[in-house]
Amino acid sequence: MEPACPSQSEMLSTLIARSGEAPFLALGQTVFWDEPMKAGLALRAKELGHDRRFIAGIHDTDYFAKAPGQASEGPRYEALPHNDSSTKGLWSASGEFSTLFGSETVVTRERLAHYGVQLSLLEAEHPGSMDALTEAWGWRGVVGRTSKAETAAETRLDLVWPTLWSVFNQMVDQTSDSAAVGPNGPQREEVERLKALVCDASFPGGSLADFYERLMPQMLDFVAGASVPVETTRTTRLLAFNEVSANLPRFQLLAAFLDPRTRRQAAEAYDAAVAHSEIYGLAQFGTGALPFDLLIPGIGRGTLRLGNRGGVVQTSHPVGFRYAQRPETPQELAAVLEARFGPGIVLVGKAIAFVAMLSSEYVFVMHARASEYVHRTAKLLRSMREAGIALPAANPILRIQYSTWEALDGVNAWLHLPEPLQGPFGTRTVSACGMAARRKLVAQEQRALLEELAVERSPIGLIRLLSLRLGETWAPLAAKFEDMTRVVVGLKEVVAGYKEQKARIVAHLREATARRAATERELGEHWRAKVWNHEPEPTELAHRESLSGRLRGVLLEIERLKSEWNALDKAQHQAVRAEEVVAAKERRRVISVEAGFARAELVKAAVFASDGLDRAGLRPCAWWFPIVSPDGKWFEETASRATYCLEELD
């Protein structure tokens, strides 16, 4: 029997013992996803008497997403779906949206193939079909179409706003439809209030990060249905780098990479921590690279590299700086950089170094499965300490896991399921409590279906499975396919008969050809031995005539065998090209393709109803909650059921 999970109160008390009063820090790249759900932690901590500060920050030093491929003419920003075809590899954390039940769950081509989908067959029949078959349902990401790399801090709100507002409205309206929102009532009021909040915060001027920071406190209050005690910040503020801030504990990690006594050990520890991952080692950034980027106002963001007499920032157009002596402390480096680039520069740790920097002063609040690479941060810090490098203690990460769908149990609402979920749930409309009760069972059933599909590879077996899963309308197709199969099998038997006869003829031909060669050889030898330069005896001439007669007979036999083979081959081709057979093959192929698409749709729906809902439940879009449950019960129940755990970094 598994041990009971510690209560929220117990975990918060443990956290106090572990990290004192270090503030909670919830960093997110957008306010339109799961970040406002952390309002539940802020309220719960206050209820339990913990006065720890709660800081909600905008992670505005990351790049705004760019569209796959080359920059193109047209809109500077657009909203794209994510699939495993035309938008493969798309990433859009600063501008992602999801409608109710949706998530960024791409049904990969590899997964479709694993469950028996013949990708080449479907693509040949309907070119471009992989876009729709692999698309993450209910998700859109805003991306830039320009070649310039910009962070969220540099992205102008007035330029991105039209696209952002359009996709936001689309997703809110789709959620309203799924939540059965009528023309009047509290749910409609929540929809309009949400849109008004967003619109009011979007006054002209400034960056996307400005807009998100203005909106964050209001979004927290909207989602929680209460006033949330929160402070706001941004990464550009937290990691502002100057001669004063350089003394903060968050920059002590940098000190280890600058100090000549520890820089080699620190670099080795970093490379060891990212080994065997998709994160680059320092050598891949160039000679003298540190695991830190510099964000320079008006210039951009790039890797910081230091040499003996100067350094460079690898922005899109690299910029350099010089010094008489290589900086050996954060304060010395800050003085050099401020003298060269002026105020406002930001020093951001790469990947695992970022978490290591801020965990020295804050308790990161992360949802389950967010930033799953941070175990490498723990490895980095452990390796550096083992090498004798002194670092500030790192606070643990507080992980929050939700039971989002199970928390619908006490909600009085009806939900209209989107098309991909209607088949797995067997209905279009489900009650909130019905969703809570059935969701896990449906996921189990769909995973079992996926395993059936992985095993069932034959077309007729698939069609029979479809008739069981999708209804008796597939039964006539099974009968038709079997009829066509009988025609094709009958043809195969006829063709096999022709092939057998042709094979016998070929064997006779080989034997006749061998006899012809032997006879021709005997004639040649006789000519040389008895006729050429000789006075042949009549008996020899008679023998020669006998040999010639034998050769003529063999040649006639060969011609006859060839004629028989050609006749059989013609008959075989006529049988293959017979109208009935051609029609049967085509109908059989069309039915196979139709069943193939049905298989793909079953796989897609099964993935959404299992992994997709799992993923959406772990990191739910926060503004869904007031729309579905204006009385706040869904949010309250989700927050109260949430489990907290500590992920140690030290």
- Looking from the CA of 510 toward its CB, the CA atoms found within 13 Å total 5
Identify which of 211, 189, 209 has the alpha carbon closest to the alpha carbon of residue 201. Answer: 211
Tell me the pLDDT band of 74, cut-offs 50, 70 and 90: low
Last residue of a domain, one of 553, 577, 601: 577
The secondary structure of 148-203, three-state, reads CCCECCCCEHHHHHHHHHHHHHHHHHHHHHHCCCCCCCHHHHHHHHHHHHHHHCCC
Domain span at residue 564? Answer: 474-577
In eight-state DSSP terms, residue 327 is -
- Read off the tokens for 613: 């809902």
| pLDDT for residue 568 | 87
Percentage above 70 pLDDT, the chain: 98
| pLDDT for residue 173 | 94
Taking a C-beta distance cutoff of 8 angstroms, is the pair 428, 416 a contact? Answer: yes
Phi, psi of 474 (to 5 degrees): -85, -15
Q: Which of 3-12, 302-311, 526-535 has the lowest mean pLDDT?
A: 3-12
Q: Give per-residue pLDDT as tens, 112-170.
A: 999 999 999 899 889 989 999 999 999 999 999 887 889 999 999 999 999 999 999 99
CA 347 to chain centre: 29
Amino acid at 9: S
What rounded mean pLDDT belongs to the chain?
91
Higher pLDDT, 321 or 551: 321
How big is the chain by its Cα radius of gyration, in Å? 37
- Read off the tokens for 191: 């929809």
| pLDDT for residue 3 | 46
Crossing angle of helices 186-200 and 157-178, in 10° steps, is 170
Higher pLDDT, 569 or 139: 139
Look up tokens 């320079």; give the residue: 296
Helix residue ranges, H only, 20-135: 39-47, 109-114, 119-125, 129-134
Do β-strands 319-322 and 346-349 pair in parallel, antiparallel, or remain unpaired? unpaired
* SS3 category, 20: coil
Query: Could you count the other beta carbons within 10 Å of the beta carbon of residue 204?
Result: 7
Taking a C-beta distance cutoff of 8 angstroms, is the pair 303, 316 a contact? Answer: no
Do 380 and 265 belong together in one domain? yes
| pLDDT for residue 68 | 79
Q: How many structural domains are present in the chain?
A: 2
Do 244 and 378 belong together in one domain? yes
Do 282 and 371 belong together in one domain? yes
Those residues whose C-beta lies under 8 Å from the C-beta of residue 76, and which sit 6 or more positions away, are 144, 145, 146, 159, 160
- pTM of the complete model: 0.85
| pLDDT for residue 488 | 73
Instruction: Tell me, yes or no, whether 310 lies in a domain.
Output: yes
Taking a C-beta distance cutoff of 8 angstroms, is the pair 491, 575 a contact? Answer: yes
Instruction: Tell me, yes or no, whether 202 lies in a domain.
Output: no
Do 361 and 494 belong together in one domain? no
Do 496 and 388 belong together in one domain? no
Look up tokens 């009650």; give the residue: 431
Instruction: Tell me, yes or no, whether 354 lies in a domain.
Output: yes
Instruction: Tell me, yes or no, whether 281 lies in a domain.
Output: yes
Distance CA 154, CA 298 (A): 8
248: left (phi over 0), alpha (psi -120 to 50) or beta: beta
Amino acid at 189: E
Distance CA 603, CA 454 (A): 10
Do 509 and 639 belong together in one domain? no
Instruction: Tell me, yes or no, whether 27 lies in a domain.
Output: yes
Query: Could you count the other beta carbons within 10 Å of the beta carbon of residue 523?
Result: 16
Do 509 and 627 belong together in one domain? no
Taking the CA atoms of 545, 550, 555 and 560 in sequence, report the sign of the dihedral they define. positive
Q: What is the mean pLDDT of residues 609-617?
A: 96
Do 374 and 497 belong together in one domain? no
Residue 9 scores a pLDDT above 50: yes
Cα three-residue angle 203-158-104, rounded to 5 degrees: 100
Do 400 and 492 belong together in one domain? no
Instruction: Tell me, yes or no, whether 226 lies in a domain.
Output: no
Q: Give per-residue pLDDT as tens, 183-207.
A: 666 788 999 999 999 999 998 889 9
Q: Which of 62-66, 327-331, 590-594 has the lowest mean pLDDT?
A: 590-594
Do 566 and 633 belong together in one domain? no
Distance CA 227, CA 238 (A): 24
Instruction: Tell me, yes or no, whether 93 lies in a domain.
Output: no
In eight-state DSSP terms, residue 621 is -
Do 266 and 351 belong together in one domain? yes
From residue 44, how far is each of 18, 574, 643 by CA, in Å? 19, 80, 12
Judge residue 183's burial from the number of C-beta atoms within 10 Å of its C-beta, 0-12 exposed, 13-18 middle, 19 or more buried.
exposed
Last residue of a domain, one of 545, 577, 609: 577
| pLDDT for residue 611 | 97
- Looking from the CA of 614 toward its CB, the CA atoms found within 13 Å total 14
Q: Give per-residue pLDDT as tens, 230-276.
A: 999 999 999 999 999 999 999 999 999 999 999 999 999 999 999 99
Distance CA 383, CA 270 (A): 8
CA 575 to chain centre: 49
- Read off the tokens for 131: 């876009």
Do 256 and 351 belong together in one domain? yes
Instruction: Tell me, yes or no, whether 52 lies in a domain.
Output: yes
Total count of residues recorded for the chain: 650
Last residue of a domain, one of 518, 545, 577: 577
Taking a C-beta distance cutoff of 8 angstroms, is the pair 366, 644 a contact? Answer: no
Q: Give per-residue pLDDT as tens, 402-434.
A: 999 999 998 999 999 999 999 999 999 999 999
For residue 98, the surrounding DSSP H or E stretch is strand 96-98
Judge residue 347's burial from the number of C-beta atoms within 10 Å of its C-beta, 0-12 exposed, 13-18 middle, 19 or more buried.
buried
Q: What is the mean pLDDT of residues 76-91?
A: 93
Amino acid at 81: P
